[in-house]
Amino acid sequence: MGTSKYFTLKEARLNNNCPECYSSEGLQLVFRQKFVENAFYKAVTLDTIKEMHCTNCNMEIFPVRWTDDIEQVVAYQTRAVNPKPKSIKLKTLTWILIVVDLILLVGIILYATGVI
């Protein structure tokens, strides 16, 4: 029913050597934040992920393969990223359901108290 996607917060090119092909010009670090959408609302969560890949050898570099130099650069870049604040936006369908429920609740209360 709902989908969760990730949108890109920041992309950073690193000058470190790739652990796979040893090129110093191909590493790219990408920070992504989770975005959830369904029929009732859209929401930005605080979940962020980081992905690293080399554009020269087209390999994804997992954290197990990171060297100490890469870890230091990633830690610096992580501190520099400002994730968007957690938010939620209700869609039109949700607002319609809320209004209908309120009208029904007021009608039931007025009927129960004998006003109607």
- Domain spans of the chain, in order of start: 3-90
Q: Is the pLDDT of residue 3 over 90?
A: no
Answer whether 4's CB lies under 8 Å from 35's CB: yes
Please tell me the predicted confidence (pLDDT) of residue 41.
93
If residue 91 lies in a helix (H) or strand (E), which one and from where to where? none
Report residue 97 as tokens: 């359901």
Number of other CB atoms surrounding residue 68 within 10 Å: 7
d(CA 72, CA 15): 12
Q: Is the pLDDT of residue 1 over 70?
A: no
User: What average pLDDT does the segment 47-57 reach?
Assistant: 92
Please tell me the predicted confidence (pLDDT) of residue 116.
77
CA 6 from centre of chain: 5
User: What average pLDDT does the segment 21-40 reach?
Assistant: 91
Q: Is the pLDDT of residue 2 over 80?
A: no
- Global pTM reads 0.79
- 106's CB contacts (< 8 A; 6+ apart) are none
